[in-house]
Structure 1
Amino acid sequence: MNFRWLFVICLTIVLLSACAQKPKQNQTMPGMDHNQHNQPSGGKESTNTSQVQAVWKFADSAPQSGKDEQISIQIQDNTGKPIEKFQVSHEKQMHLIVVNKDLSFFNHIHPDYKGKGLFQIRTQFPTGGDYKLIADFIPEGGEAKTESQWVKVSGDVPAAQPLTPETNLTKVVEGKEVSLSFDQLQAGKELTMTFNFLDASTKQPITNLEPYLGAVGHVVILSADAEKYIHNHPLEEKATGPQAKFGTAFPASGIYKLWGQFKHQGKTFIVPYTIQVP
């Protein structure tokens, strides 16, 4: 198996900033192009994704916690002309990741495409505070693109939860015992991370995982400061368990939080882990 080729297909690493800064309202963090998806074949009009940008708007000038808020994301080129065509990637034209500053909240949602480069969705923020929105999409004829935005949400702001690396990477979620392991864990190295699934009661292997967004699972990874973003797809998308393997690489040492997303017996579930990468 050509692991480097799988790495290019399955891995998205976006270095959103050279140094961590305190989030500001409506501050867009610059990103790098990534190669998460297969690239389009020849014969189509190409799109220079380095010139693609997102303009974020909220129906309320100051979004409030616990209230439905409409988010609009206008995709355009650097002259303001809308980008109008997008590829479908894992069943959706856009994937939107929402996290709060301490990474205790995570949401993976999918805005509707309204045409002429405009995506919209209504969602809720559970508490006040700073949130980061990360949009993944592929303009037709171009490469995969990530755009992000910090937004300040009004409302009660809970005390920040410390992000402490876990030594036990086995968890029970929705009646499933899920264990995470790595063939090696070191910054800058290509590696394989493996999720193993057992029935929490019987300890029998789970072999009937169902496709979630066209694959056995998805993994989203963020550094502790939310500056480094990775979105992985499985090495074997049609796997059904008891294992799901993902190729990835961590760009730098430090603390990371990751969320594995899977589906079993008609229900999706999320398994979060906090790890220390040497």
Structure 2
Amino acid sequence: MDRETLRLALVVGGLVLAVLLGFGLGRLNPPASPAAAVPTGEAATTVGDHSHAPGTGAHSHDGATVTRGGGDGATGLSISSAGYTLVPSARELTAGSAGELRFQVRDDRRRAVTRFAVVHDKPMHVIVVRRDLTGYRHLHPTMAADGTWSVPLTPPEPGAWRMYADFTAVADDGRQVAAVLGADLAVPGGYAPRPLPAPATSATVDGFTAAYTGTPEVGRSAPLRFRITGAGGGAAPLEPYLGAYGHLVALREGDLGYLHVHPEPTLDGDAVTFWLTAPGPGRYRMFLDFQVAGVVRTAEFTLTVA
């Protein structure tokens, strides 16, 4: 082999070796998962065994990432997500009759899941709503030893209903996977859907008035500050409910995309501050749960996002 041929062979061999070494190092040191990232300069807030960075806004419970600017954070659109499947025992209930909602969450091996992390004081949060965004219920079922969840449910009216199971499962290896799964329920009978009320920034329930300031934006985390006042106009003495001073669920008209937003851990004066990221333009129905004197009430708002 002459000198030039030898030199060319050495150069080519070196390039091949560099590529192979780079590939191997990449496999040994994969990039950090975005799901584990916490915004710079902010400490994580842990409730139960599940953490969120403060001020993150609408966070996805589908096992993917915490939404903070960009991306569609609406969940609950699928019966399966993040390796888990929602399996209702029956999908038909009777309007006005005491019934029971029963279901399991199964993993990718079709096994009923029985290990769940406690998040906001409960291992399972269930939201039930009619498809015209009326009849909202926030329920907390109990689980049997075989992984079957059950909770009493009396649908007030016939129609097409939607259930959401919001949970954090604990996998065999100890990983915690947050997910929101959704399924349709049928309540036979004459269905007369009602139009959404006009958008408003205040709502009255049982003599309390809930009002908010702030303007949600598509793809950006924006603060909504809610103040609750009593009949005399003074600030209501809010009490912690499920580990927070309020819980906010927003459902998107049309596909019923689900956002479950939790507030800052402390009050801002007399205001409860939520950070909401609107996944897209359109109309939303917001449901604010708050507790005063041991009673939980729900204020409802229609919101239009441009």
C-alpha displacement of 1:9: 7.6
Q: Return closer, same or farther for 1:240/1:113 CA change in 2, 3 Å cut-off.
A: farther
Residue 25 of structure 1 corresponds to none
CA contact (8 A) 2:283 2:304 kept: yes
- List alignment gaps of at least 5 residues for structure 2: 1-40, 44-51, 61-72
C-alpha displacement of 1:120: 1.2
**Equivalents in 1 of 2:213, 2:89: separation in Å?**
40
Q: Return closer, same or farther for 1:260/1:204 CA change in 2, 3 Å cut-off.
A: same
Residue 291 of structure 2 corresponds to 263
TM-align CA RMSD: 2.2
- Are 2:156 and 1:126 equivalent residues in the alignment? yes
CA-to-aligned-CA distance 1:173-210 (integer Å, 9 cap, x gap): 2222221111x332111101110122232x2223x211
Residue 199 of structure 1 corresponds to 230
- Identify which of 241, 254, 272 aligns with 1:212: 241
Residue 35 of structure 1 corresponds to none
CA contact (8 A) 1:197 1:241 kept: no
**Equivalents in 2 of 1:16, 1:205: separation in Å?**
34
Residue 81 of structure 1 corresponds to 111
- Identify which of 74, 77, 80 aligns with 1:14: 74
Q: Which has the higher contact order (CA 8 A, sep 6+)?
A: 1
**Equivalents in 2 of 1:75, 1:255: separation in Å?**
30
C-alpha displacement of 1:121: 1.5
- Are 2:88 and 1:52 equivalent residues in the alignment? no
CA contact (8 A) 1:10 1:234 kept: no
What is the identity, as a one-letter code, of the residue corresponding to 1:54? L
- Secondary structure of the structure 1 residue equivalent to 2:53: helix
C-alpha displacement of 1:117: 2.2
**Equivalents in 2 of 1:185, 1:204: separation in Å?**
26
Residue 9 of structure 2 corresponds to none
Higher share in helix: 2
**Larger Rg computed on CA atoms:** 2
CA-to-aligned-CA distance 1:145-174 (integer Å, 9 cap, x gap): 1111001111332x21112441x4123322
Residue 5 of structure 1 corresponds to 53
Matches within 5 A, 1:28-43: 29-30=78-79
- Are 2:203 and 1:171 equivalent residues in the alignment? yes
Percent of aligned positions with the same letter in both sequences? 24
- Identify which of 270, 276, 280 aligns with 1:248: 276
Residue 141 of structure 2 corresponds to 111
- Identify which of 193, 210, 215 aligns with 1:160: 193
- Secondary structure of the structure 1 residue equivalent to 2:181: strand
User: Number of residues paired by the alignment?
Assistant: 242
TM-score by length of 1: 0.80
